[in-house]
Amino acid sequence: MPHRTFIWFILPSLAAMILFIALPIVSVVVQSLYVEHEQVLVTVENCGPFGCTEETRVDRDATAELREAQPLGRFNGLGTYFNRAHLATAEIAEAWATSDSLGAFWDRVMNLPFYRALVFTLAYTFIVTPLVVILGLAIALGVNALPRIFRGVTIFFSLLPMIVTPLIGSLVLFWMIDAEGVIGATLQILFDDPDLSLKASPALTWITLFIYGVWSSAPFAFIVYYAGLQTVPEETLEAAMIDGASRWERIRYVVIPHLAPLTVFIMLIQFMDNFRVFEPIVGFQAQASATSLSYIIYSDLRGDVQQFGSAAATSVLTIIGVAILLTPVLIRTWRDFNRKRA
Amino acid sequence: MAAASQRRSTALVVFSTGFILLWLILAAFPFLWTLWGSFKVQGDFFSRADWMNAITGPLTTEQTGGPFTGEGYWGAWVESGFWRNVVNTGIVVVCTVVISLTLGTLGGYALARSGFRYAFWLLMIALVFRAMPHITLVSGYLLPFFQWNLWGHLPTTIIVLVAINQPFTLWMLHSFFLNIPKDLDESAMVDGCTRFQAFRLVIIPVMWPGVITTGLFSFLLAYNDFAVTAMLLSSENQTMIPRIASFLGSVQQEGNVMFAVAAVVSATAPLFVLILFFQRQIVSGLTAGAVKG
């Protein structure tokens, strides 16, 4: 296809992506270099019968005017990145110098909002993703062994946790694990502890969120693996049997290698989706015990005073995180592409 | 017709069937439970005394005279005006799907037929764009949208959702068009068609299976979105999902959690119907990217 025709075909789609994905990234970078204006202070002298006093107060009109004139705020350079709400370099250095053990240092780092969110996001990404792959493969192997007439129904119900809106899925579970909901009440009876609450302890909240993550993404891995299982070559399986391979050996040496490229695909999609974990935290109202990078951006933008600078700085750091996560994939794809061309 | 390699021992069959049954309960029970419970009063759905109350509903019978009540639905749809959010969702979703498929088919077709290196790079960039957390993009929009008075309107949200949808749509349609033989449109061009005529007369009639599958996923993305719609829409233009989120805050104080439960069930129902009718397309769409890419 000649370059000219190509341009005309791709132009609308490309324009949409440049305007609403590429430019916002630029906008985020610019915004992160600015902070909100400080309030304009004026000093007025009040003279009364007992002499004069000086009083400093906020000039509301002037503040509003300044904010109107320069909506971005004042230039702050990289200041926002290193303040307490983000990379907190000063606090980290201080904690490192004064903490006597690694544990104490860790506790202090975990009190910083950005690191708290980062640790949860990474833990979520790297714990949920492998579990999704394993559970998805197990379900796919199980469904593949079912008689054909049951498979359609099984797939129908399996799709539900994945298709349903994340916020709704997490709300449905949230109501069930409520101390007065069915799962919460059952757990209290099982552990014989009337005060047991999944919402109260941070550790239990993290586990609840992980379980939600696996529950909602496993169907995706299942469907992809299930489709892959339909194309496992029958001849190879039979040859392996004739060679005396047991059932487990056949799965280990024939089926799993056949599914390996699918695993790469599932992991890639899951890393991308889990890194932006956000809705479950809103749905489970877990912000007291667990925040993610996306969540702290959201809460910066939602507060009474919208902190655009702070949200933008976190956004830039998140985008850098995504880039680091994707680099191996991109390098690998680039090599494959060159090998195909060569 | 089970081949020799498929034969299994009884123990294994029992184990794997049991495992699948367990999974099915895990997957479906929460939704069935909530559907059933949405027709009860709050005292039954969140029962301090005994969870069996949520099934039998003694308080519901006591308060309303019957074992089932539509109070939650009446409260949500009529008293709280949830129907307006449903209408908004309808507008946003339909427009998003139509526009993103139009742009996506043109772009995907071009990417599938161009052999140049930059087509590959565009796809890679689209992949990177797909990985961007939506909320980071939203934090880029907010300030400019406030300044230009674009904030809060449905068309703004639609165009943003279209753009966020594009990377995925391009990838998916690209792989569908790769499966349509090149000879088809090239022979049309030999017969004197321009590239666009070949696309319109030859490709469009055969592309519908791929477009419908991609459309389903665009629908899901627009329907399920929370980050964009919650931040970019004013309260009178809100769609269902952010409205449900804001229900939670107000409703818990007033003791009307059942309104939120009813709204949640209402928002799940269309998805249920969608899987019922399009299960095959959803499954083929999920695997299209994997098996070919």
Chain B residues 55-84 with CB within 8 Å of chain A = none
Considering only CA atoms, which of A128, A50, A40, A117 is closest in space to residue A86? Answer: A117
Contacts of B274 in chain A (CB under 8 A): 163
- Could you tell me if A99 and A135 lie in one domain? no
Read off the pLDDT of each residue in A248-256 and give the average, rounded to a whole number.
87
Q: pLDDT tens for residues B199-229?
A: 988 888 888 988 999 999 999 999 999 999 9
Q: Cα B117–B211–B85 angle (5° rounding)?
A: 115
Of B107, B163, B260, the CB nearest to A20: B163
Q: What is the pLDDT at residue B111?
A: 92
Residue B152 sits in the same domain as residue B93 = yes
A303 and A258 share one domain: yes
The answer, for B10 touching chain A at a CB cutoff of 8 Å, is no
Interface of B with A in 250-289 (CB under 8 A): 257, 260-261, 264, 267-268, 271-272, 274-276, 279, 282-283, 286-287, 289
Q: What share of chain B is helix, strand, coil (3-state, %, to 5)?
A: 80, 0, 15
Q: Give the position of tokens 């877990």.
A: A286
Q: What are phi and psi of A210, to 5 degrees?
A: -60, -45
User: Do residues B177 and B262 both lie within one domain?
Assistant: yes
Comparing alpha-carbon positions, the chain A residue that sits nearest to B130 is: A272
Co-location of A183 and A158 in the same domain? yes
CA angle (A204 as vertex; A198, A205 as ends), nearest 5: 80
pLDDT at position B5 is: 43
How far does B91 lie from chain A, in Å, by closest CA?
Answer: 18
Domain count, chain B: 2
Contacts of B12 in chain A (CB under 8 A): 145, 247
Q: Are A178 and A300 part of one and the same domain?
A: yes
Cα–Cα distance measured from residue A133 to residue A139, given in angstroms and rounded to the nearest whole number: 10
Which chain A residues are within 8 Å of B109, Cβ to Cβ? 9
Q: Is residue B98 within 8 angstroms of chain A, CB to CB?
A: no
- pLDDT score at B255: 64
Q: Which pLDDT does position B156 carry in this prediction? A: 94
Would residue A41 count as lying in a domain?
no
Based on the domain organization, do B63 and B159 belong to the same domain? Answer: no
Cβ neighbours of B2 in A, within 8 Å: none
Q: Is B27 in Cβ contact with A161 (below 8 Å)?
A: yes
One domain, residues B227 and B97: yes
- What is the percentage of chain A residues whose pLDDT exceeds 70? 99
Long-range contacts formed by B141-144: CB under 8 A, 24+ apart: B141/A20, B141/A24, B141/A27, B141/B232, B142/A301, B142/A306, B142/A308, B142/B231, B142/B232, B143/A27, B143/A31, B143/A71, B143/A72, B143/A308, B144/A27
Is residue B126 within 8 Å of residue B171, measured between CB atoms? yes
Query: Is the model's pLDDT at A70 over the cut of 70?
Result: yes
Contact at CB, B4 and A9, closer than 8 angstroms: no
Backbone φ and ψ of A55, nearest 5° = -135, 135
The Cα–Cα gap between A252 and B255 comes to 54
**Lowest-pLDDT choice from A257-271, A280-294, B179-193, B246-260:** B246-260
Q: How many CB atoms lie within 10 A of CB B273?
A: 10
For residue A106, tell me if it sits in a domain.
yes
Q: How open is the CA angle A108-A88-B129, to the nearest 5 degrees? A: 115
CB distance A336 to B120 below 8 Å: no
Residue whose structure tokens are 């719609």: B229
Which residue, B40, B71, B102, sits at the end of a domain? B71
- Cβ separation A171–B264 shorter than 8 A: yes
Residue for token digits 């592409």?
A337
- Contact across the interface for B5 and A241, Cβ inside 8 Å: yes
CA neighbor of B96 nearest in space, from B166, B149, B174: B166
- The alpha-carbon gap from A92 to the nearest alpha carbon of chain B, in Å, equals 25
Same domain, B28 and B129: no
CA torsion angle B189 B192 B197 B203 (round to 10): -40
Q: Which of B233, B216, B266 is nearest to B92 (CA)?
A: B233
The residue of chain A with its CA nearest to that of B249 is A285
Last residue of a domain, one of B20, B50, B71: B71
> What's the per-residue H, E or C state across B91-125?
HHHHHHHHHHHHHHHHHHHHHHHCCCHHHHHHHHH
A267, part of any domain: yes
Average pLDDT over residues A280-297: 92
For the segment A248-274, the average pLDDT, to the nearest whole number, is: 88
Q: Count H helices and E strands in chain A, helices first.
A: 17, 4
Average pLDDT score, chain A: 88
Q: Check whether residue A190 and residue A94 sit in a common domain.
A: no
Give percent helix, percent strand, percent coil of chain A, each to the nearest 5. 70, 5, 20
Contacts of A226 in chain B (CB under 8 A): 283
Report the alpha-carbon distance of residue B146 to residue A248 in Å, rounded: 60
- C-alpha span between A186 and A176 (Å, rounded): 10
pLDDT tens track, chain B, 293 positions: 344 445 567 888 889 899 999 999 999 999 999 999 899 888 888 877 777 777 777 888 888 877 788 888 988 888 888 999 999 999 999 999 999 999 999 999 999 988 788 888 898 899 889 889 999 999 999 989 988 999 989 999 999 999 999 999 999 999 889 888 888 888 888 988 888 888 988 888 888 988 999 999 999 999 999 999 999 998 889 999 999 988 877 656 666 788 889 999 999 999 999 999 998 888 888 876 554 43
Q: Are residues A221 and A85 in the same domain?
A: no
CATH number at residue B166: 1.10.3720.10
Cβ of B114 within 8 Å of Cβ of A1? The answer is yes
Cα A206 versus chain centre, distance: 14
A94 and A170, same domain (yes or no): no
**Encoded tokens for A143:** 């469904």
Total count of domains within chain A: 2
Please, what is the Cα angle at A122 between A211 and A269, to 5 degrees? 75
Instruction: Give domain status of residue A3, yes or no.
Output: no
Inform me whether the pLDDT recorded for A49 exceeds 90: no
Judgement on whether residues B88 and B134 belong to the same structural domain of the protein: yes
Interface test with B, best of A5, A131, A167 (most B CBs within 10 A): A167
Structure confidence at residue A50 (pLDDT): 75
**Whole-complex ipTM:** 0.89
Q: Judge if A97 and A183 occupy the same domain.
A: no
Interface test with B, best of A4, A17, A231 (most B CBs within 10 A): A17
Identify whether residues A250 and A121 lie together within a single domain. yes
For residues A133 and A178, state if they share a domain: yes
- Residue B71: Cβ within 10 Å count: 20
B12 has a chain A CB within 8 A of its CB: yes
pLDDT value of residue B81: 86
Which tens digits make up the pLDDT trace of A146-202? 888 889 899 999 999 999 999 999 999 998 888 778 888 888 888 888 888 888 888
**Shared-domain flag, residues B170 and B281:** yes
- What's residue A252's pLDDT? 87
Q: Which residues contact B149 (CB under 8 A, 6 or more apart)?
A: none
Query: What confidence score (pLDDT) does residue B251 get?
Result: 58
Pick the residue from chain A with its C-alpha nearest to B49.
A180
Give chain A positions within 8 Å (CB) of B248. Answer: 171, 285
Read off the CATH number of the domain in which A209 is found: 1.10.3720.10
Say if residue A73's pLDDT is above 60. Answer: yes
Per-residue confidence (pLDDT) for residue B254, from 0 to 100: 62
Structure tokens at A135: 């559970």
More confident residue, A60 or A240: A240
Q: Phi-psi bin for A146: left (phi > 0), alpha (psi -120 to 50), beta?
A: beta
Residues B19 and B93 in one domain: no
For chain B, what is the total number of helices (H) and then of strands (E)?
A: 16, 0
Domain that holds residue B61: 4-71
Tokens of B139: 């934090």
In angstroms, the CA A132 to CA A213 distance is 8
CB-hemisphere CA count at 13 Å for B193?
15
Q: Which of A155, A228, A337 sits opposite B279 (nearest CB)?
A: A155
B284/B185 same-domain check = yes
Mean pLDDT for A50-58 is: 77
User: What is the model's pLDDT at position B64?
Assistant: 80
Q: Which residues contact B153 (CB under 8 A, 6 or more apart)?
A: B233, B234, B237
Evaluate whether residue A1 is within a structural domain.
no
Q: Are residues B26 and B162 in the same domain?
A: no
Q: Tell me the residue range of the domain where A81 lies.
A: 77-111
- End-to-end Cα spacing for chain B: 32
Check A311 against B139: CB less than 8 A apart. yes
- Does the pLDDT value for residue A319 go beyond 70? yes
Residues A255 and A107 in one domain: no
CA B65 to chain A, closest CA, distance in angstroms equals 23
What average pLDDT score do residues A89-104 get? 88
* 134-173 of B, contacting A, C-beta below 8 A: 134-144, 146-147, 159-160, 162-164, 166-167, 169-170
